[in-house]
Structure 1
């Protein structure tokens, strides 16, 4: 070795860089000294590998072995060997950050395809057979969908790979097992085989939390099940996550069918003002929650390259916000890759040239920093070290020279601060909206507003005394409560209704009480989509309901206890005129005569409550004077007594 380095001193740099810049790469070389010949081979170090090349190299090595464990060992060792090559190409600046993240993504794809084939042929088939389609005349199709950084060809050195799994038919295998069970077992094998840490390391950690219902959801669904879920329950965060979805293993053609199926959900062609605002508000709200969680965990936000203010996530969220808004009508925006999407947004003038260039430069810089943090020990770290020595070492890994004239750490910190400040300013510009926009009330912003003073100032115009409680109840009407989340359709319907609702609440005698009882009423009756639609189409009904709920605790409690009383609000003729004593007597006698044995009193009570509700409504709506109201109540009592008296033994 010494002789080789003496004769070819240019080989010293990659060796010293490996040992000096990364504990992980150093340990790889020490464990496998034969890898040294890879890093001094110009052909190896200058070659950018596709996933197809990596797949073929793996196939050649795996074909020499028979057992599952031996083949998985080859996958782990190949991953470590390729990470050494890719890492040194990055540190030596042979490859830029786009090439580095692309090669890491290609490595994950090739390993995942082999892992799938091993599981399908050697683990599943002997035990469960081959899954078939519904007709039983062809195999059931299966695809692995890459999400997140894998989907965007943007993996870094210690990334998890985000995956979801899909199959075509809810049928059976050729041995009679349910396809759902077969694919669930296959997915469990894939996750364990890829993630398990052994003496040879691991392949890639797998994260499946981006599937429907996240950690609470099933591990795999059929295509039909995905379509049904996204149509009925898919949320904004899922639309955002699916921007990066692409097939990475399994039946790639079937995976493309899955991508075509989700496109109308991800990129919705018709977006009203409410939906546009909801997208921006949801993204800004999500980012705020992330930063709040980090602070609660004791993290230093300013040093967090990925999730801190102006970090990588700010860039991704900015880009994805614009993609969701404009992607349906501009297909060039529908890219999985962040840098490609930034270029497309610039070309479509949806980002100022200056902002687009700033985002692209910051993204390359921050991803380089992230890679250099993680390559040191192959750990999921995202924070710039607090210690000056460690931070200076990071700056040197990133490529900042330290000379007598320039301090690497100071220059690095200045560039980091400049990039993150620019990114945060652009993120705010793209995602910020106002409660009162040019188009009127912005309910999405109202529900997410955290500034108590601004919230109180706005809601006080609707005569609410407790602004924070009013916001909570409005959120409950829009989103659900007690662990029940309404579908996006229900939320959209409420958002359209909200301006009308706030106006009628303002006109009710007590807006706070009216909103409280309205929320209780909708909780009791359910079917919110139908009620919200009816209120939007018949605002007069909503106006009467809020007037009742804001006027009388007694009547509001009656309504909550007996929601069927609401029907009287939908038939105006019932409260247009008063009833005579004779009419009430006839109605009460008929109830007593027709009542089944043992139910006479309960039916008479029901009649009394209906009539009290009707009489009170006439008074509240101004259809009856006080003398008329008291006369009707007296007649009701007399009619009830006369009807029941003959039945008293």
Structure 2
């Protein structure tokens, strides 16, 4: 709306009067008003849209008509000038209603009068602008909310100043009473979100910070501020000759039945940390600091973020959130919606369903996605689209429905300034609302409303009411009593189960509470609700019986079941993944059983579409570590986020959204980032205890599969810690407990190993292998770069140089990293005796054949022509490349990429293709097997689903074909290996 837009510029009237009788009555009132108001007299003397609008508005709203009679100047101003500046001026003036520098009379009575008169003016002007369609629901709620904030600010500033005058408080600055006061007034609900309705109550919570020190007697601070709040309530809601400002509700404070009206910040934080309820989490989504010490209020809300938006959701809380839905009397119901008497806010398809639709998803995902922490409903719907939680159609439908319902709500309340959300029961009164909405009659209005309510109900139901209907759609599913129900057995057969009696018995076991996870009534209820959908989804898998019985095995080992059952009940799309896991991946099932929170990341709808790149993983790990200040806290968080991200990479691999090579690279990125963060934490601990070392520099060298980006699930990490420093060997660190260089960096290495590999309640990060350091286990745990260079150039064996072809600096000081890379390049770029290297490589492979023979064809690492042969080919070709004039890659690469570089001119292209094909199949199968099980793959013992996954990884229709392909490829690779090193 342009600031110059006036009511007088309306071309047509958007509303119609209630009746001709009402028109005559309004015109009579306007004639009385016109005697003292020339603008109103002029209005009566003309015909047109403006006169029609004023008459219609006053006929439809007795409240507006009363205001016009009591304050005719308001009607004159509304007719005569642009509305926006008037509204903005009211808000600006009310903000300073307390100020003795502006107002000669700054008494409480005078402040109360000014606030009430301003509220009447704002209500009148806003209603006219809204009914005239000069502003929409968004602007209406914004003006109402801004006014409420300004009024509460003015009241609080007045009370703080009065407290100083009474000798109870000492303000930092009497001209800005709230600043630095430590008095925090939070606007909750629609006030916090900037979405107040026309006759809304305001929900406030008041805290005070004793550290601000404005209470002259600290022992009386609680009572002092409680009295201040009691006076605030009086100022806002006591009815006087001028009316009231806002009805004020303070019941959202902690434990309102047992706590004072104002609570100290420390007490509040302790309450929310230890006893905070899920409904309070939902309430604080919209909380905003609206008065008093605004920076302190913002700080308090920042401290509450972990309470409101959890890093990972306790899924048992979703049921509690559902109970909120029940408490607000929303009924799914069937049949037609009765428009007359319908509750626009709490009824079926009402405003609360839209708000609840948004808030529940915020509670679930806001901890991981800060963008989903907005207060207002419409922006949050748009953000849910951007985050992939809902589609654009849902957003558009719910947004349109929200503002349509908010418009109706405003008009219901404009009638008599009542805080009600009920549509009238009578036809005549319903007609009033229909006309205020611009409809021709109640039938047209009712049809539009019912369509909107059904749209909301449908969208809301799709999110919350996903109970399976198998009992009515697919046949009986009865598991009570001792005997099988024949119809239930038939239903199970139709669902895909080969042994329905065994399945029926298993489910009866759940109902009897024989497992720890099903001992509580609540857990059994959740599982009972979930059972029909479980049976349906498991029945769709290839080996339904086996999959469901593995799920039974899984829940039999759970210490508790409510969290998991709640999660699955509220996120049915995850059931197919559960089936996949249970039918193929016992290792992942054990991870879920031990750490149910790893499922949190699977709630992100973008999981399977989003590649786990280094930047993607770094953002999540960094975000999860934010706020961790203590060493043990950092390490625990590292263990949690590492387990979760490895699990999610595994899920992507399991579902085929990434391949084995991508999984290896992603798992390596996780390890890199975790090791870097752990090293940073360890360095801070060492420096706190022993000080810094003059010029001390550290770099971590990753070897083996870590160096070549080929980690699998559960891989060890091969590390070498390199260091350097300035000065002579006699230099010591500068802390209170100084150490020489050898002990200083050895201590750092030992702490790093412990940080990565020590078992805790959150598990182990990585098993660490440091045997590839110079002199192996006999050498020092930390190696100075000069010693490393000397050893590699003068003493290292061929196998150590082979390992060096996969060495990569993972993290650390960049200068030392560059020196390390240069050292490795110098060693590998040397021209060697090709025959000697070939002989050494061949002998090493023969020794492995002798000492570690393969178990069977599935031992892909050790079989002749397996992974070791391929790695040895790549490493041999890298070592002899300089002698043959072949350039080496600048850094360690995955074996497949390294072969592509070093094999140029050294291998026949057909042989290279064969080796690459074998490597690809070996790697894909190895990644899947290591993900799904601990130990070797035995087709006879493997879960049915794993066999299918292995065949998929090998791109073969069945095991027999895959075995034949492995034998063919391994035989060819062994021949190529022997030819390569036969110098």
Q: Which residue of 2 aligns with 1:104?
A: 144
1:159 aligns with 2:200: yes
Change (3 A) 1:3 1:158: closer
Aligned to 2:355: 316
CA distance in 1, matches of 2:181, 2:153: 17
Q: Flag the 1:92–1:500 CA change in 2: closer, same or farther, 3 A.
A: closer
Q: Is the 8 A contact 1:54 1:106 kept in 2?
A: no
**Which residue number corresponds to residue 764 of structure 2?**
none
Aligned partners of 2:257, 2:379: CA distance in 1, in Å? 31
Q: Which of residues 530, 542, 561 is equivalent to 1:499?
A: 561
1:319 and 1:341 in contact (8 A); partners too: yes
Specify the alignment match of 1:411 in structure 2. 444
Aligned to 1:196: 238
Q: Note if contact 1:294-1:301 (Cα within 8 Å) is conserved in structure 2.
A: no
Shift of 1:320: 0.2
Residue of 234, 238, 247 corresponding to 1:205: 247
Contact 2:186 2:291 in 1 (8 A): yes
Deviation at 1:47, TM superposition (A): 5.7
1:68 matched to 2:130? The reply is no
Question: Which of 395, 407, 426 is equivalent to 1:356?
Answer: 395
Give the TM-score normalised by structure 2.
0.42
Report the aligned-residue RMSD: 3.7
Residues 1:29 and 2:68 aligned together: yes
- Kindly name which structure, 1 or 2, has the bigger radius of gyration based on alpha carbons: 2
Q: How does 1:82-93 map to 2 (within 5 A)?
A: 82-93=122-133
Q: Quote the residue 1:266 is aligned against.
A: 308
User: 1 CA distance for matches of 2:563 and 2:133?
Assistant: 60
Deviation, structure 1 residue 302: 7.0
Give the Å deviation of 1:7. 5.3
What are the within-5 Å matches in structure 2 for residues 62-461 of structure 1? 63-123=103-163, 125-130=165-170, 140-169=181-210, 173-174=215-216, 178-271=220-313, 275-276=314-315, 278-279=317-318, 281-291=319-329, 303-400=342-439, 402=440, 408-432=441-465, 460-461=508-509
Q: Is the 8 A contact 1:50 1:106 kept in 2?
A: no
Aligned CA distance change for structure 1 residues 145 and 50 (closer, same or farther; 3 Å) = farther
Distance 1:335 1:290, change over 3 A: same
| Cα 1:457–1:160 shift into 2, 3 Å | farther
CA contact (8 A) 2:164 2:171 kept: no
Range 326-335 or range 41-50, more displaced: 41-50
Per-residue CA distance 1:148-195 (angstroms, 9 max, x = gap): 010111111111100101211266722565221211111111012111
Asked if 2 retains the 8 angstrom alpha-carbon contact of 1:145 and 1:164, the reply is yes
**Residues 95-124 of structure 1 deviation map (CA, whole Å, 9 limit, x = unaligned):** 100100110001111111111112111256
Count of residues paired in the alignment: 451
8 Å contact kept, 2:357–2:463: yes
Shift in alpha-carbon separation, 1:131–1:317, aligned structure 2, 3 A: same
Query: What is the SS of the residue equivalent to 1:221?
Result: strand
Query: Alpha carbons of 1:314 and 1:293: their partners in 2 closer, same or farther (altered >3 Å)?
Result: closer
Say which structure is richer in helix.
Answer: 1
Indicate if the aligned counterparts of 2:330 and 2:347 stay in contact, CA closer than 8 A: no
Distance 1:44 1:85 in 2: 7
1: distance between equivalents of 2:183 and 2:562?
48
Q: Following the alignment from structure 2 to structure 1, what is the Cα–Cα distance between the partners of residues 214 and 118?
A: 36
How far residue 218 of structure 1 moved from its aligned partner, in angstroms, is 2.8
Q: CA deviation at 1:278?
A: 2.9
Find the aligned partners of 1:83 and 1:121 in 2 and give their Cα distance: 28
Query: 1:434 deviation in Å?
Result: 5.6
Q: Distance in 1 between matches of 2:563 and 2:128?
A: 62
Task: Using CA pairs under 8 Å that are at least 6 residues apart, name the structure with larger relative contact order, 1 or 2.
Answer: 1
SS at match of 1:308: coil
1:225 to partner: Cα distance? 1.7
Alpha carbons of 1:383 and 1:14: their partners in 2 closer, same or farther (altered >3 Å)? same
- Structure 1 CA distance for aligned equivalents of residues 342 and 89 of structure 2: 34
List gaps (5 residues or longer) in structure 1: 133-137, 403-407, 437-453, 479-494, 504-534, 538-649
Q: Residues 120 and 369 from structure 1, CA distance in 2 versus in 1: closer, same or farther, beyond 3 angstroms? A: same
Q: Do 2:344 and 2:351's aligned partners in 1 also have CA atoms closer than 8 Å?
A: yes
In the TM superposition, residue 75 of structure 1 has moved relative to its aligned partner by: 0.8
Q: Which runs of 5+ in 2 are unaligned?
A: 1-33, 35-39, 173-178, 470-487, 489-503, 527-556, 566-592, 596-983
- Cα distance change on mapping 1:124 and 1:292 into 2, 3 Å: farther
Q: Does the CA-based 8 Å contact 2:169-2:214 persist in structure 1?
A: no
